[in-house]
Structure 1
Amino acid sequence: MSQPDLSSLARLLAIMAKLRDPDGGCPWDLEQTFSTIAPYTIEEAYEVDDAIARNDMAALKDELGDLLLQVVFHARMAEEAGHFGFGDVAAAISDKMIRRHPHVFGTVVADHPEAVSGNWEAIKAAERAARPAEAGVSEVLAGVTAGLPALSRAVKLQNRAARVGFDWPDKLPVLAKIREELQELEDEIVAGDAEAAREEFGDFLFVVANLARHLKLDPEEALRAANRKFINRFSKMEEIIKSEGKELSETDLNAMDKAWDQAKRSERRRP
């Protein structure tokens, strides 16, 4: 296992500088901007998450490298524009880690994870209070990144509200609210009001995210797991149908449902 090597990072920074060099650089890299690169940054973060979910360490090494490249790319563009460089990014996160870990780098006592989390959130709140206020946004909810996946952002907003007491006491009222929102969605679907149905569907998902929070679940991870389950079952269903000499396009829904149930039963038989 290799030890940290600053020359490797220097090499990566030099490669990016060359790619962005107007004299002999890469035409594709040269035409990129923060906005055009941002989707790739998000995609790479999800690929890191996927490698972790698959426990694929070789893939994780590669995906972490791809994610690091995104940081280097953004920092290089910022440096070219005279804003900041990679060194400034590294210094800023180092300062932040020291500031947010006073129990390690200072004299604060925090000998269990809950105390650490409490200190972290208090320090973050102080940092937010020192920033200019967001127009029209409650100080309690300010700073929850708009670019987060919607379910994750919903949970973060709800957590912020819960800190000041705006929360249901337990899971049962959340379940009742889900039933209420589902009924309102059904009413709008029956009424044929597409715009109102869209709004009610959003309300329904927001409360579902709140239930995940009360269950101490990550709704994004729960949905990713459901996606993986669907892929596995659909693939097994297709395998079953093909074993009968048919193609999915030649199979009616009833036959597919039977194969789907058989795929589910095969999961239960696994050791």
Structure 2
Amino acid sequence: MPDSRPPSPRSTSSIQALESLAPIERLLAVMARLRDPDGGCPWDLEQSYATIAPYTIEEAYEVADAIERGDLSDLKDELGDLLLQVVFHAQMAAEENAFDFAAVAEAVAEKMIRRHPHVFGTADAEAAETVMVNWETIKAAERAAKAQDGSVSALDGVARGLPALLRAVKLQKRAARVSFDWGAVAPVIAKIEEELEELKVEMAREQPHPERLQDELGDLLFAVVNLARHLKIDPEAALRHTNNKFERRFRALEAELTAGGADLAQAGLEAMEAAWQRAKAAETKKQDEEAS
């Protein structure tokens, strides 16, 4: 592997050498320097793929948050933080002579070319739906080629590390591609009602079993995700939206009660519910005025 470390740590010439590099080369050199056993950063040197993985996931969520807020300045910063995670993992792999950043970039470029035959080849795809069908067909062929023992499942490649809601959607979509799916919304709603009743039965037991309660609640959530999929709604985005809505209204509730001198912990549910309804009404009125 080529040595991309800048010379003489902490020196003026070192900084000048970094500044003379193209941005991506500069970032790679900075990370190599941070991981250098000779004068690098003690914290960075202690990290591994496993310890960095949670930060990678967190940064991806912060990118999504900046997009949802429409803050392009934050988006630039968060994309940089996410890119740093890729560079960090690639640097650790380079130290093990496994692969480097260039290999990562080359592999994903080749993948994009391979999966876009309508752009880089002779295939036809004039609609986004056709592109997605072609994409999934190519991915399925890739998974089959990578299978070690020759066994292939429609569910291969759905990462276990995904957030549970997102993984549920992906599992359901994969099953649907081989026709394991309802063709209408009505039976999905019936399934939700069925799962809710099964949860109620378990809850009504004299001594509900924690594992069975978890199973029944999980089944209910999985069925709700299925409804979101059939309605073409991203359940993760829907829940984020509701989380934000709850936070706005609860903060308004807090502000109203504390402004009146109330101790929030002692205000009581009735007073809090009344303040909640006022916050909800004020928000709805504002939305109606903005829409008119």
The TM-score bracket by the shorter chain reads over 0.9
Q: Which amino acid aligns with 1:184?
A: E
**Mapped pair 1:10 → 2:10:** no
Question: Would you say the 8 A contact 2:199–2:216 is kept in 1?
Answer: yes
DSSP-derived class of the 1:231 partner: helix
Structure 1 residue runs of 5 or longer lacking an equivalent are none
Q: What do you get for the CA RMSD once the two structures are aligned? A: 1.5
Structure 2: distance between partners of 1:113 and 1:169: 21
Matched residue, 1:202: 218
Distance change in 2, residues 1:116/1:73 (3 Å): same
The normalised TM-score by structure 1 is 0.95
**Mapped pair 1:190 → 2:204:** yes
Task: Report how far residue 120 of structure 1 moved.
Answer: 0.6
Distance change in 2, residues 1:248/1:169 (3 Å): same
Matched residue, 1:213: 229
Matches within 5 A, 1:38-49: 38-49=53-64
Task: Report how far residue 125 of structure 1 moved.
Answer: 0.7
Matched residue, 1:34: 49
Structure 1: distance between partners of 2:277 and 2:152: 49
Distance change in 2, residues 1:134/1:243 (3 Å): farther
DSSP-derived class of the 1:269 partner: helix
Question: Would you say the 8 A contact 2:144–2:152 is kept in 1?
Answer: no
Question: Would you say the 8 A contact 1:134–1:142 is kept in 2?
Answer: no
**Mapped pair 1:162 → 2:162:** no
Structure 1 residue corresponding to 2:240, chosen from 206, 210, 224: 224
Structure 2 residue corresponding to 1:239, chosen from 242, 248, 255: 255
Matched residue, 1:263: 279
Of 151-160 and 188-197, more deviation after overlay is shown by 188-197
Of 14-23 and 233-242, more deviation after overlay is shown by 233-242
Matched residue, 2:146: 131
Question: Would you say the 8 A contact 1:100–1:120 is kept in 2?
Answer: yes
Task: Report how far residue 249 of structure 1 moved.
Answer: 1.8
**Mapped pair 1:151 → 2:165:** yes
Which of 1 and 2 has greater Rg? 2
Matches within 5 A, 1:82-101: 82-101=97-116
Structure 2: distance between partners of 1:133 and 1:43: 32
Structure 2: distance between partners of 1:110 and 1:77: 39
Matched residue, 2:88: 73
Residues 35-65 of structure 1 deviation map (CA, whole Å, 9 limit, x = unaligned): 0000000000000000000000110000000
Structure 1: distance between partners of 2:193 and 2:126: 42
Task: Report how far residue 250 of structure 1 moved.
Answer: 2.6
Structure 1: distance between partners of 2:121 and 2:113: 8
Matched residue, 2:268: 252
Question: Would you say the 8 A contact 1:188–1:194 is kept in 2?
Answer: no
Q: Which amino acid aligns with 1:148?
A: L
Question: Would you say the 8 A contact 1:133–1:139 is kept in 2?
Answer: no
Q: Which amino acid aligns with 1:13?
A: L
Structure 2 residue runs of 5 or longer lacking an equivalent are 1-19
Structure 1 residue corresponding to 2:189, chosen from 161, 175, 183: 175
| Identity across the alignment (%) | 59
Task: Report how far residue 243 of structure 1 moved.
Answer: 2.3
Distance change in 2, residues 1:215/1:59 (3 Å): same
Of 115-124 and 88-97, more deviation after overlay is shown by 115-124
Distance change in 2, residues 1:151/1:110 (3 Å): same
Q: Which amino acid aligns with 1:217?
A: I
Task: Report how far residue 193 of structure 1 moved.
Answer: 1.9
Structure 1: distance between partners of 2:258 and 2:94: 56
Structure 1 residue corresponding to 2:39, chosen from 24, 37, 44: 24
